[in-house]
Amino acid sequence: MTPLLDIKGLDIRAGDKPLVSDLSLSIRPGERIGLIGESGSGKSMTAMAATGLLPPSITVAGSITLDGQQVVGATDRVMNRLRGVAAAVVFQEPLTALDPLMKIGRQIAEPVRRRLERDGGKATKEAVQREVRDLIDKVALPQPDRIINSYPHEVSGGQRQRVAIAMALACRPKLLIADEPTTALDVTTQAEILKLLDQLVRETGMALLFISHDLPVVAQVVERVLVLKNGIAVEEGLVGSVFGKPQHNYTRTLVEAARLFDEALGATGS
């Protein structure tokens, strides 16, 4: 099967400083892959490169094909066509994806309208509203009428992340990139959002690139992981084998840190 995202020999630099070096990673349709590593290891840079969102000051070399289209050096026009359709991104802080001055219903309606038009359908007010309701339902947002008429700051962090997920789903992307989507949330909300993402990815058959520094979180939603250290892939494999029998010292350290954290939580009864 042709990969949906195929990264080969990716180099990302800020001036002389290498941020990501010779990275290769491929995701087939419907596959769920985790990209893990400590803060600053280059996970977000990789995701931004894949969607052409890196600032102009950052240089990129190598090859990234997304749904068969070369992303490195692609024009804004090409990337605008790919974004949402081939891949949509959910970020750590949903406020970055939301317009603070626009009611949530209208924000979800925009990608819905674009997608209906893209698919040759009629974006009538009724069709758009129906789909906004469906999406709100899908991401299990309570009190839909209130949510639709609220501004982002009037709902909770977990609800905002559900709105951001609904907006990504509205595009019906082939690949969902979730960049630390639960890091800014409390533990209970984190678990709920993970469950939701897992369920939606399975239901829709979307591929998933899940970015996190948190091993237990990644292990819940992906089949394969790639471990990044200082922008270099040090280990890759099935979740069970990488976490069960880590080959690289760095992965061992991450696994051990997660285990100690779990034990500490257990000891405090949390």
Ligand X SMILES: Nc1ncnc2c1ncn2[C@@H]1O[C@H](COP(=O)(O)OP(=O)(O)OP(=O)(O)O)[C@@H](O)[C@H]1O
Q: What is the sign, positive or negative, of the torsion defined by CA atoms of 244, 190, 96, 75?
A: positive
Judged by beta carbon, residue 55 or residue 269, the one nearer ligand X is 55
Structure tokens at 12: 């990302």
Judged by beta carbon, residue 12 or residue 175, the one nearer ligand X is 12
The residues of the shown chain that bind ligand X, judged by CB under 6 A, are 14, 19, 37, 39-45, 55, 58, 213
Question: How far apart are CB 140 and ligand X at their closest, in Å?
Answer: 27
Question: How far apart are CB 212 and ligand X at their closest, in Å?
Answer: 8
Question: How far apart are CB 20 and ligand X at their closest, in Å?
Answer: 7
CA 60 – CA 14 distance, rounded (Å): 9
Judged by beta carbon, residue 17 or residue 153, the one nearer ligand X is 17
CA 202 – CA 111 distance, rounded (Å): 22
Judged by beta carbon, residue 45 or residue 98, the one nearer ligand X is 45
Judged by beta carbon, residue 39 or residue 268, the one nearer ligand X is 39
Question: How far apart are CB 247 and ligand X at their closest, in Å?
Answer: 21
Q: What is the sign, positive or negative, of the torsion defined by CA atoms of 228, 232, 237, 242?
A: negative
Question: How far apart are CB 213 and ligand X at their closest, in Å?
Answer: 5
3-state secondary structure of 184: coil
Q: What does DSSP assign to residue 94?
A: G
- The burial class, CB within 10 Å (0-12 / 13-18 / 19+), for 215 is buried
Question: How far apart are CB 231 and ligand X at their closest, in Å?
Answer: 7
Could you tell me if residue 74 is left (phi over 0), alpha (psi between -120 and 50 degrees) or otherwise beta?
A: beta
Question: How far apart are CB 55 and ligand X at their closest, in Å?
Answer: 5
Residue 232: C-alpha distances to residues 62, 91, 144, 208, 268 (Å): 14, 22, 44, 21, 36
Judged by beta carbon, residue 155 or residue 233, the one nearer ligand X is 233
> What does residue 113 show for φ and ψ, rounded to 5 degrees?
-60, -45
> What does residue 91 show for φ and ψ, rounded to 5 degrees?
-95, 170
Judged by beta carbon, residue 138 or residue 213, the one nearer ligand X is 213
Residue 117: C-alpha distances to residues 12, 52, 121, 130, 171 (Å): 35, 23, 5, 15, 11
